[in-house]
Amino acid sequence: MTILKEFLQPNLVTAIYCTPEDLYDKFLFTKIFPMDIPNKEDQGTIIEQTHNRAHRGFDENIKQISSFDYWPKMHKQFKEYIRNCEICNKNKYERQPIKIPIGEVPIPKEKGIQIHIDIFYAQSLKFITCIDSYSKFLVIKQIEDKINLEDKVLDILQSFPNVKRITIDNEPGFTTVQFKSLMQRLQIEIFFCNQNQSTTD
C-alpha cells in the first residue's frame, strides 16, 4: 500500500495493469484482515489440513482459507499440492476410467509380450524388477527412489520392445494416474494381480 501511495496521485483514477496470475498472487479481496503466514512449515500444514479435510478442489480450498491466511505463493502451492494429491488423482482416475481388465491374466504364448514388473526391496536398497512371464527372462535394476517411476519403467521397457501386457502387484507407485496414462500411451494393458494369486515374492 505504501508503495502505491508513493506513486499514485490523489483524486485521479488510475488503472493498474496486471496478469491474472499477478492478480491472484499479489492482491487479495477480503473483508477481514488475513494473517500473514511467512513460515514455510506453517504454510505446508495449512495446505495439508485444508485440502485433506475433504479433498475438495482448488477454488474451494482457496475460498476456505483466504480470508484467514495469506502468503504470496499460496495459490501456486495449493495448485501443486492438489495436483500431486494421490487420493484426488485416484478419484479423478476412477471417474474417467481407463479400462483395466479385471480377472484372469491371459497366458502368454510368446516371449516378450507379457511381463511382470515389481519393486523389490533388499535391506536399504530398492530395485525395479521386470520378468518375462513366458521365458522368465529377468531384468533387474537398482533405483535410488520411487520418484518418477514412469521414467524408470520406460528405461527398463527398452529390454522388452514388444510388450503388450504388464502385470503388477499393488505397488502404489504403479497405481498413479501418471503411470496408467503412460501405459495407455504405449498401448500396454495393465493387469493388477490379485494378491492371493501372487506367486512372486
**Binding piece for Zn ion, criterion CB under 5 A, among 40-48, 65-73, 85-93, 147-155:** 85-93
Question: What is the C-alpha separation between 124 and 126, in angstroms, rounded?
Answer: 7
Identify which range of 40-48, 73-81, 83-91, 155-163 contacts Zn ion by CB under 5 A: 83-91
Q: Is the Cβ–Cβ distance between 177 and 185 less than 8 Å?
A: no
Indicate which single residue of 67, 70, 75, 88 sits in contact with Zn ion (rule: CB under 5 A).
Answer: 88
Q: How many Å apart are CA 43 and CA 71, to the nearest integer?
A: 8
Shortest Cβ 46–Zn ion spacing (Å) = 15
Is residue 127 within 8 A of residue 149, CB to CB? The reply is no
Rounded least distance, CB 76 to Zn ion, Å: 17
Is the CB of residue 106 less than 8 Å from the CB of residue 55? no
Contacts of residue 163, defined as CB under 8 A and 6 or more positions apart, other chains included, come to 112, 113, 114, 115, 157, 188
Q: Does 49 contact Zn ion by CB under 5 A?
A: no
- Give least dist CB 162 to Zn ion, A: 37
Instruction: Kindly tell me which residue out of 85, 113, 139, 177 binds Zn ion, with binding defined by CB under 5 A.
Output: 85
Please give the Cα distance from 189 to 133 (Å, whole number).
14
Minimum Å distance from CB 91 to Zn ion? 8
Q: Which is nearer to Zn ion, 89 or 129 (CB)?
A: 89
55 binds Zn ion (CB under 5 A): yes
